[in-house]
């Protein structure tokens, strides 16, 4: 079998790029004839179509990338298999996607979203995102590399570090976590809340709003926002530096950082919804807060290829596009973990075991090959 993978290549630290890169690595290690190319590079994709002649082109993205991931290889007579995430509503390309023999998605929730918005569920298979569990491993606080990370954020030896990672923190549930920390501050051991976010214009604006909330809650001296570009090499030490990974995400089709935190032996607090229901196990690897609110919309405005093209779609049934976690639930779970080191260790060990057994990138690559064989007859 010859496989061409389309993603943000060469790999960057972003989620979709990492998703594609780990599949690429897994297939190469399995001995599959595999190449990777940037999804936007038309000339390089055509180059591979002509000399490599792949049996299948796997494209990583969301429905909006259909022109690059599906239509482009089809134009050259090559079989596309998109591996897609969801962003709340699948607004276009239903006809194109329904004509495919196979669509991969990252979780059962993502599959539900595509089916809800008109995609034939018989065409869809769930393939989780891989995790490099041989590098995302637990490192103790006595590891000099971990100690330096904690010192960067001003975390004292007697303080518990709670961590949230994301392009921005609010979308990962940081505002709900801050509200929960304010509720339990007087009852909890010493703590510091670190939010590591990615530098981008929307993050700068969101950081201001988040820090204003921390000030209003009276916990601003215990909240640290770090806006830096970091590599995947740094991530295991950053995750190992924390005591609790907290990300009750508002919209999450898989939850890669939650899986990586588990692989690093950290207990997770998240939301009992969406992709986290596939990746995390309530009471064993994580505590999953109840959904307090669903953000629904009755209509969307679709923008076309040119700036002056747009159309309104009104839903017969309102669509849920965002979630909010129950703050009291988060507070309860935080306090339980903060006061019980043995529980943190037990859940961290369970998270590590689950990551190794279910999400190792080599296992995901084997699942991918099995699906292609069963659904497309490729070997």
> Who's near 239: CB < 8 A, 6+ residues apart?
136, 163, 245, 257, 260, 261, 264, 266
Q: How far apart are CA 21 and CA 33, in angstroms?
A: 15
Q: How far apart are CA 150 and CA 157, in angstroms?
A: 9
Is 279 in contact with 355 (CB distance < 8 Å)? no
Whether the domain at 2-130+360-376 and the domain at 144-358 fall into the same CATH topology:
yes
> Who's near 198: CB < 8 A, 6+ residues apart?
166, 167, 168, 227, 229
State what percent of residues in the chain have pLDDT above 70: 98
pLDDT beyond 90 at 208:
yes
**Paired tokens of 140:** 């103790």
- Specify the pLDDT at position 90: 86
Of all helices (H) and strands (E), which one includes residue 292? strand 291-303
- Specify the pLDDT at position 308: 54
- Specify the pLDDT at position 22: 98
Q: Name the pLDDT band for 204 (thresholds 50, 70, 90).
A: confident
Q: Report the mean per-residue pLDDT for the chain.
A: 95
Is 27 in contact with 55 (CB distance < 8 Å)? no
Q: Name the pLDDT band for 305 (thresholds 50, 70, 90).
A: low
- Specify the pLDDT at position 130: 98
pLDDT higher at 313 or 324: 324
Give me the residues paired with residue 3 across strands: 34, 56
Q: How far apart are CA 91 and CA 112, in angstroms?
A: 14
Q: Name the pLDDT band for 306 (thresholds 50, 70, 90).
A: very low
Of all helices (H) and strands (E), which one includes residue 26? helix 15-29
* pLDDT tens, position by position, 51-101: 999 999 999 999 999 999 999 999 999 999 999 998 778 888 999 999 999
* pLDDT tens, position by position, 40-60: 999 999 999 999 999 999 999
Domain ranges for the chain: 2-130+360-376, 144-358
Is 323 in contact with 271 (CB distance < 8 Å)? yes
Is 110 in contact with 122 (CB distance < 8 Å)? no
Task: List the 124-126 sheet strands across, edge first.
Answer: 33-38, 2-7, 56-62, 80-85, 103-105, 124-126
For range 151-179, the mean pLDDT: 96
**Paired tokens of 132:** 């490099």
Q: Name the pLDDT band for 202 (thresholds 50, 70, 90).
A: confident
- Specify the pLDDT at position 304: 55
Could you name the CATH architecture of 144-358? 3-Layer(aba) Sandwich (3.40)
Instruction: Enter the pTM of the model.
Output: 0.94
* pLDDT tens, position by position, 291-303: 999 998 888 776 6
| Pick among 3.30.70.20, 3.20.20.70, 3.40.50.2000, 3.30.2320.50: CATH of 2-130+360-376 | 3.40.50.2000
pLDDT beyond 80 at 325:
yes
């Amino acid at each position: 079998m010859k496989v061409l993978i389309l993603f943000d290549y060469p790999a960057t630290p972003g989620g979709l790029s990492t998703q594609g890169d780990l599949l690429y690595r897994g297939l190469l290690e399995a001995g599959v004839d595999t190449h990777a190319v940037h999804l936007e590079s038309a000339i390089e994709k055509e180059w591979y179509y002509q000399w490599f002649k792949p049996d299948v082109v796997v494209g990583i993205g969301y429905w909006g990338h259909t022109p690059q991931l599906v239509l482009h290889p089809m134009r050259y007579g090559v079989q596309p298999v998109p591996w897609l995430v969801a962003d709340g509503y699948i607004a276009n390309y239903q006809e194109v996607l329904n004509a495919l023999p196979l669509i991969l998605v990252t979780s059962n929730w993502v599959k539900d979203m595509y089916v809800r918005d008109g995609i034939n569920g018989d065409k869809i298979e769930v393939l989780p995102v891989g995790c490099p569990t041989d590098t995302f491993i637990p490192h103790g606080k006595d590891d000099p590399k971990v100690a330096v990370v904690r010192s960067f954020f001003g975390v004292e030896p007697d303080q518990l570090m709670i961590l949230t990672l994301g392009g921005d923190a609010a979308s990962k549930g940081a505002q709900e976590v801050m509200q929960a920390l304010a509720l339990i501050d007087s009852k909890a051991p010493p703590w510091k809340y670190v939010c590591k976010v990615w530098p981008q214009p929307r993050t700068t604006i969101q950081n201001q709003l988040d820090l204003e909330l921390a000030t209003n809650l009276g916990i601003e001296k215990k909240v640290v926002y770090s806006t830096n570009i970091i590599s995947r090499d740094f991530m295991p030490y950053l995750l190992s530096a924390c005591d609790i990974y907290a990300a009750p995400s508002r919209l999450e089709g898989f939850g890669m950082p939650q899986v990586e935190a588990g692989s690093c032996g950290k207990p997770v607090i998240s939301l009992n919804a969406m992709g986290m229901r596939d990746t995390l196990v309530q009471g064993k690897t994580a505590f999953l807060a109840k959904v307090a609110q669903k953000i629904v919309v009755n209509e969307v405005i679709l923008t076309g290829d040119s700036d002056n093209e747009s159309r309104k779609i009104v839903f017969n049934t309102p669509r849920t596009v965002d979630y909010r976690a129950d703050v009291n639930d988060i507070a309860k779970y935080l306090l339980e973990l903060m006061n019980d080191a043995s529980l943190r260790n037990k859940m961290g060990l369970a998270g590590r075991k689950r990551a190794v057994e279910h999400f190792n990138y080599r296992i995901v690559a084997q699942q991918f090959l099995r699906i292609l064989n069963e659904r497309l007859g490729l070997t």
